[in-house]
Amino acid sequence: MKAKVSYIVFIMLFSLIVTACGSKNTSTTDDKLAQIKTRGTLVIATDPVYPPFSKLDETQPRLADTKCAANQNTANQYSGFDAETGMEIAKRLGVEPCFVGPEWTTITAGNWKDAWDIHVGSMTITSARMETLYFSQPYFATPIHVFVHKDNTTYQAPEDLSGKKIGSCDLCTFDLYLKGTLELPGPPIEFRIKNAQGIAYENEVPAIADLSLGDGVKLDAVILQRSTGTEAIQAGSPLRILKQPLYYAYVAASFDKQSAKDSVSLVKEASKIIQAMHKDGTLLSLASGKIEADLIPPAEDFFVDGLNQFPK
């Protein structure tokens, strides 16, 4: 009888060991969302100099009790609509937001090597980006416009800029539009500017500065989100908007498909959070004083599941 009991105990212990060992290969271990919650931080990539969407203030000291790594910025050091949207996502995940500021081209290329978990930085959903990145429910949608120097009355419509020197952010949708290669979910784009001399910048800030010189030597125009151009004008840049937009962009959080951890559950959870932020008015509240309120509602109606971006 003793031997039989010992055998039963052995089987029970063996089963527990197998179960424990097997758990190392379950979705909990390999899941990006689970990793984030265990770590207690959400590492967010965004632009450190892109008002009104994101702005780093390094004069602010890091939070004393932060879990953020030494090479990451804490929430109190960032402001702007993108940054604060990322903070709210982290809050609703129950973790601390931490920020990094990699270059745009590094973000759009994918294969982030898990240096950050999510990008919340005014990225438009495009067909090309979906090859390397996942996208959440959009959190705003924006018309994309051409801006010219306010003293230039020659340019009144996008077509007037054909063959001219136009600044844009490198490898962003503005750059792809000028190259005639931009593909967005939805109807085909009408490329109204032909044979432009596209001049790429790391972001729009130096492009705005070059256009503001007004001599037409460096630039004849820049392509910008409406909010970015409006912010620049309010800050004193001598720009004028061409009222006919080139296209509309749906802006979402993005995630690396090549992460060592499975990101699908994180993408789905972030989408649920953003959908809830639409419904409870949080996104409208965060946008107040930063970007126009009319940019928020169209993003709520975007059918993100229609992207069919997850493995079957």
pLDDT at residue 216, rounded to an integer: 78
The answer to whether domain 30-140+249-307 and domain 143-248 are alike in fold is: yes
Topology adopted by domain 143-248: D-Maltodextrin-Binding Protein; domain 2 (3.40.190)
Topology adopted by domain 30-140+249-307: D-Maltodextrin-Binding Protein; domain 2 (3.40.190)
pLDDT at residue 186, rounded to an integer: 75
Q: Which phi-psi region, left, alpha or beta, contains residue 219 (left: φ > 0; alpha: ψ -120 to 50)?
A: beta
What are the average pLDDT values for consecutive 10-residue runs of the chain, which has 312 residues? Answer: 37 36 48 97 97 95 97 98 98 98 95 98 93 97 95 96 95 92 87 96 93 90 94 95 94 97 97 98 97 94 93 80
Side-chain-side CA neighbours of 144 within 13 Å: the count stands at 28
Residue 139's nearest CA partner among 98, 99, 92, 107 is: 92
Are the C-beta atoms of residues 197 and 262 closer than 8 Å to each other? Answer: no
Residue ranges per structural domain of the chain: 30-140+249-307, 143-248
Residues 6+ apart with CB under 8 A from 281: none
pLDDT at residue 28, rounded to an integer: 54
d(CA 254, CA 141): 15
Are the C-beta atoms of residues 155 and 221 closer than 8 Å to each other? Answer: yes
